[in-house]
A and B are shown apart, each in its own frame.
Chain A
Amino acid sequence: MIAALGRILILGSLLAAAAGALLGFASARTRSFDGLRWARRMAYVYAALIMGAALLMEYALLTHDFSVAYVAQVGSRSVPVWVTIVSLWSSLEGSLLFWGFVLGAYIAIAVWFTRGLYAEYQPAAIGVWLSCATFFSFLLAGPANPFGTVVNPPLDGPGPNPLLQNHALMAVHPPFLYLGYVGMTIPFGFACAALMKGKLGHDILKPLRESLLLPWVFQSMAIMLGGWWAYEVLGWGGYWAWDPVENASLLPWLTATAALHSLMVVERRGILKGWTVTLIQATFLLVILGTFMTRSGVFNSVHSFTQSAIGPTLLVFLAAALLFTVALLSFRIDRLESEGRIEGVATREAMFVINNLVFVLLTFTVLIGTVFPLIVEAVSGKQMSVGRPYFDSMVVPAGVALLFILGIGPALPWGRSTREQMRKALLPPLIGAALLVAIGLLAGVRNAWTLVTLAFGGYAAWVTIVQIGRGHILRGRRRFASYIVHAAVIVVLIAVAVSSSMRETTELHFTSGQTQRASGYDVKFLGVFQQQEAHRSSLIGRFSVSRDGKEVTLLEPRMNQYEMMREPIGTPDVYTTARGDFYMSLSNIDPATQTASITVYSSPLIVWIWIAVIVMALGALFGLRPKKVVAVRDAKAAVPVGSAPEPA
């Protein structure tokens, strides 16, 4: 019964989305107010139906209704409740349902907040949003139907993939991911609407910026959470492996960040409009590419869902979206008029352009590296890999370049400046650079790239702190928020550089009761313990970790044997301090002889990566105060629609 109801909801959402999309485009063409009104209603109906379907599935999972195909696939009576909730997105069909849920929510919110505003752009934007919604509902109705009926429902199910049950971060990383990526549909709609309208006026800048920034915050958090999860769960002491699907999540973030910056140039000078629109559309297309890569089975990845039939369908959608975008850009980009100019290279505007250059080059490099094995195989039939060593050597210089611009960009004033002004802006931060390098050298840093990172980071930190110190919160939330974000980015880049180059790896073999030394800590092996749970049995190695004679923590890395899997999965254990992490991973454990082999990774400053990204996200949210109140008031006062207040 639930299965049938679910199907109806999904089919309903498909109809509502399709109808709404058609109405949206039609009323954009004919400027029909009634058309627009009905398009908006269809948007709300779509949202209600698809969100209802997702909630219904959650209900089916929680009540262990194995007559529903998806529940039979991933449900289980023997897993904790949070795992059941989370299994909604643990497998392909459910994850698409979750995609629909998030998309429905975003579209409803976007339609609500734009009511009465941006009338020139709204119909086309709704058309674009609901076209995407139609596609995803189509997937759920057809190739990826989670609401199939199981004729003889089993009494219990296998549960989601054990790797996904290992850690609580599993509950958090995917929702953030979807909130970030699905959300990029909204600015895509606005950008397309602007192109279709043939203009990118001042009025549309605010919704563009805000609808881009909110998902960006989620994206940033999602990427960080993914890295943190990998670090805590996978046991190799790292957080980024340049896995194809990881790269897929990074690419839209890079173009979105570039777009956010070039949008500021559009605001200030009225130029780079076409470029900004292109970046926003590229962001959405990269999201679709990313979801294709995850679900199609074309790429060899830790993240891949099992190969399924939806690969070709997604490819068709990607191709269609690409062609649509290219056509739209070709025919309309020249209509977006430039209004201003850039006065020279030593200006902040020019620094934004260079910022974009670096981000685009990064995007290109990561994209090329990810698809290159496919290219080689297509051209020569040979199979080859592009792995971490390659990406690290390409991305490190780019990251350093970004840090450089983070320093001199905000230091330079807008517009042309005199020699004297430039000197006053650009010279003092060198003190910051020297300071940080000195601290690094004292702390033992010898790696060349890390020292360069510290120099540029110190420079940028000086610039940022000075700007924050000038009381900019009074001059406007947005600027203050951007300095917080920049400060956080500086911390991330420095922490990444230092934690990688200063990492110490030690391999140790223990017999019971033995104590050995690693990275300044004394580690005593207390023995092997066993734990039996409903879905897994574990061998735990208990280690007492001491420093200077005092015990600081008990670490218990483990080997988990899940019922469903042949090879056991190890879980590391980490002792985290502000100074660095002491990370322990089991390579071997034998309860019979009470011996264990571990690998210890000691990395300084790692925790600051996670903390800084959270600060970055909060900072960005701070600058996102809804200015709707002001806009609606103005609209009511019959002031021309769309007069956005000056960016504060």
Chain B
Amino acid sequence: MMIAAVLLFMLQMKVPDAASFVGQPKGAPVVGAELDRRTHEVGSLVRCPVCQGMSVADSPSEMAVNMKGQVRELLARGYTEEQILEYFELSYGQFVLLRPKFEGVTAAIWLLPIVALIAGVAITFVMLKRLGRKPVAEPKSKPVSEPASDPYLARVRELAGGKS
């Protein structure tokens, strides 16, 4: 009886639905162990807004658990990863995406390391070439010895071995 009453209440309830944000599901519903796996995967891409930087898949806080539940429900209904991420992005902003989108200003974060890699390899190549040339100065392979006449160093040496 209680359950029926609760169900009846719930039928009248309406929470904001993902459909109003991102439309109908574009993929196939996911079930079983696959659903668990995908929930963890997609949850790892969504940032828990109240924890410092953790994903909703990893965070134990109630907010994260709710969001992870949302991810699971949307996957079960057949929403794709893109749609789910878009849904969260529409409510929370890009802040909630742990993997930066490749568009606009944020594309830079993906490109910069590649640019650095190319630049780094080029510079290394040039440097190796340059270091391949004979040095200009006489190679000092022996340890450096200062002129024994330096009074400052002589004094330091004199007091070596204990006195400050």
- A468 within 8 A of partner (CB): no
A341-B36 in contact given A235-B60, A302-B53, A386-B100 (Cβ < 8 Å): no
Would you list which residues of chain A between 269 and 296 have a CB under 8 Å from chain B? 270-272
Cα–Cα, bound, A202→B60 (Å): 55
How many angstroms from the CA of A643 to the CA of B143 in the assembled complex? 6
| A241 and B53 within 8 A (CB) | yes
Please tell me if the beta carbons of A382 and B94 are within 8 angstroms of each other in the complex. Answer: yes
A61-69, A115-123, A477-485, A617-625: which one contacts chain B? A115-123
- Whether A376 pairs with B113 at a CB distance below 8 angstroms is no
Asked if A364 contacts B113 (CB within 8 A), the reply is yes
Q: Mark B126-164, 1 if CB is under 8 A from A, else 0.
A: 011001111111011101111010001101110111111
B52 CB–A CB distance under 8 Å: yes
Task: Give the docked Cα–Cα distance between A291 and B135 (Å).
Answer: 41
The verdict on A339 contacting B140 (CB below 8 Å), with A241-B53, A387-B98, A389-B44 known, is: yes
Interface residues of A in 44-100 (CB under 8 A from B): 44
Contact digits for B50-91, partner A, Cβ 8 Å, 1 yes 0 no: 001111001111100100000000000000000000000000
- Whether the Cβ atoms of A338 and B135 lie closer than 8 Å is yes
Contacts A570-B60, A642-B143 known; A40 to B164 CB distance under 8 Å? yes
> Shortest distance in angstroms between B102's beta carbon and chain A's nearest beta carbon?
11
- Which parts of B95-114 form the interface with A (CB within 8 Å)? 95-101, 104-106, 108-109, 112-113
Size of the chain B interface, CB-CB below 8 angstroms: 64
Q: Using A339-B141, A361-B116 as known contacts, say yes or no to A636 and B161 having CB atoms under 8 A apart.
A: yes
B45 on the interface (CB 8 Å rule)? yes
Pick the contact of B157: A237, A343, A388, A638 (CB < 8 A): A638
Cβ-defined contact, B139 with A390, below 8 A = no
B143–A119 CB distance below 8 A? no
Asked if A390 and B100 sit within 8 Å, CB to CB, the answer is yes
Contacts of B28 in A (CB 8 A): none
Specify the chain B residue showing the minimal Cβ separation from A586: B60
CB-defined contacts of B131 to chain A, threshold 8 Å: 271-272, 338, 341-342, 353
A548 to chain B, nearest CB (A): 23
A31 at interface, CB cutoff 8 A:
yes
Interface check A427, CB cutoff 8 A: no
B134 (CB) vs chain A CBs: closest residue: A341
Chain A residue with Cβ nearest B95 = A383
A640 touches B145 (CB 8 A): yes
Which of A174-182, A207-215, A365-373, A442-450 contacts the other chain? A365-373
Q: From B152, which residue of chain A is reached at the shortest CB distance? A: A31
State whether the Cβ of A594 lies closer than 8 Å to any Cβ in chain B: no
Asked if A385 and B100 sit within 8 Å, CB to CB, the answer is yes
- In the complex formed, the residue of B with least CB distance to A32 is B152
B152 touching A115 by the CB < 8 A rule?
Answer: no
Taking the nearest CB of chain B, how far is it from the CB of A442, in angstroms?
A: 24
A326 to B62, CA, bound (A): 48
Instruction: For chain B, residues 24 to 63, give those with C-beta under 8 angstroms from any C-beta of chain A.
Output: 36, 40, 44-45, 47, 52-55, 58-62
Q: A474 interface residue, CB < 8 Å from B?
A: no
Say yes or no: B164 contacts A41, CB within 8 Å: yes
**A365 contacts B113, C-beta separation under 8 Å:** yes
One of A236, A272, A342, A350 near B59 (C-beta < 8 A): A236
Q: How does the 8 Å CB contact mask read for A319-351 relative to B, with 1 for contact and 0 for none?
A: 000000000000000000111111111000010
Cβ of B19 < 8 Å from any Cβ of A? no
Interface residue range, chain A: 35 or more
Query: With contacts A357-B120, A357-B124, A636-B161 known, is A385 near B145, CB below 8 A?
Result: no
Name the A residues within 8 Å of B7 (CB-CB): none
**Chain B CB within 8 A of A384 CB:** yes
- Shortest Cβ gap from A388 to chain B (Å): 6
Cα-based distance from A389 to B42 in the complex (angstroms)? 11
> What string of 1s and 0s marks CB contacts (under 8 Å) between A116-148 and chain B?
110110000000000000000000000000000
Q: Are B135 and A385 interface neighbours, CB within 8 A?
A: no
The one of A41, A340, A635 in contact with B161, judged by C-beta atoms closer than 8 angstroms, is A635
At the interface, yes or no: A243 with Cβ under 8 Å from chain B? Answer: yes
Chain A residues within 8 Å of B62, by CB: 567
In the bound complex, how far is the Cα of B155 from the Cα of A115, in angstroms? 12
Cα A606 to Cα B45 with chains together (Å): 24
Give chain B nearest CB distance to A507 CB in angstroms: 6
Interface core residue of B96, B99, B131 (most chain A CB under 10 Å):
B131
The chain B residue sitting closest to A300, CB to CB, is B52
Question: How long is the Cα–Cα vector from A638 to B153 in the complex, in angstroms?
Answer: 11
Q: Assess whether B116 is in contact with A338, with CB atoms less than 8 Å apart.
A: no
Q: Which residues of A lie under 8 Å from residue B16 when comparing CB positions?
A: none
A270 B140 Cβ-Cβ under 8 A? yes
- CB neighbours (8 Å) of A570 from chain B are 60
Q: Are B99 and A394 in contact (CB under 8 A)?
A: no
Tell me, yes or no, whether A162 is within 8 Å of chain B by CB. no
Residues of B contacting A567 in the complex (Cβ-Cβ under 8 angstroms): 61-62
Contact A119 B152 (CB under 8 A): yes
Contact B161 A339 (CB under 8 A): no
B135 close to A341 (CB less than 8 A): yes
Complex Cα distance, B126 from A525, in Å, reads: 64
In the complex, what residues of B have CB within 8 A of residue A532's CB? none
Name the residue of chain A whose CB is nearest to the CB of B148.
A640
Asked if residues B127 and A384 are in contact (CB atoms below 8 Å), the reply is: no
Contact status B53-A350, CB under 8 Å: no
* Residue in A closest to B142 when the chains form the complex, CB atoms: A202
The answer to the question of A33 belonging to the interface, with a C-beta cut-off of 8 Å to chain B, is yes
Cα–Cα distance between A585 and B59 once the two chains are bound (Å): 11
In the complex, what distance in Å separates the CA atom of A243 from the CA atom of B51?
A: 11
The answer to whether A389 touches B139, judged by C-beta atoms less than 8 angstroms apart, is no
> Contact check: which of B53, B145, B146 meets A387 at CB < 8 Å?
B53
A451 to chain B, nearest CB (A): 21
Q: Which residues on the A side are within 8 Å of B157 (C-beta)?
A: 116, 119, 635, 638, 641
- The reply to whether A203 and B52 form a contact with Cβ atoms under 8 Å apart is no
A364–B127 CA distance with the chains assembled, in angstroms: 19
**Which residues of B lie under 8 Å from residue A643 when comparing CB positions?**
143, 145
Of the A-B pairs whose beta carbons lie under 8 Å apart in the complex, a sample of 23, sorted by A's number, is A37-B164, A119-B153, A199-B144, A202-B143, A236-B60, A244-B53, A338-B137, A339-B141, A341-B134, A343-B132, A354-B124, A360-B120, A365-B113, A372-B108, A380-B105, A384-B95, A384-B101, A385-B96, A386-B98, A388-B44, A636-B161, A640-B145, A642-B144
Q: Which 3 A-B pairs have the closest CB atoms?
A: A116-B160, A387-B98, A640-B145
Contacts A341-B134, A640-B145 known; 19 new A-B pairs at CB < 8 A? A40-B164, A44-B164, A120-B146, A201-B144, A243-B52, A271-B131, A301-B52, A302-B52, A338-B135, A353-B127, A360-B120, A372-B100, A372-B109, A384-B100, A384-B101, A385-B98, A505-B36, A567-B62, A641-B146
Chain A residues proximal to chain B, CB less than 8 Å: 31-33, 36-37, 40-41, 44, 111, 115-117, 119-120, 199, 201-203, 235-238, 241-244, 270-272, 300-302, 304, 337-345, 350, 353-354, 357, 360-361, 364-365, 368-369, 372, 376, 379-380, 382-390, 394, 505, 507, 567, 570, 585, 587, 632, 635-636, 638, 640-644
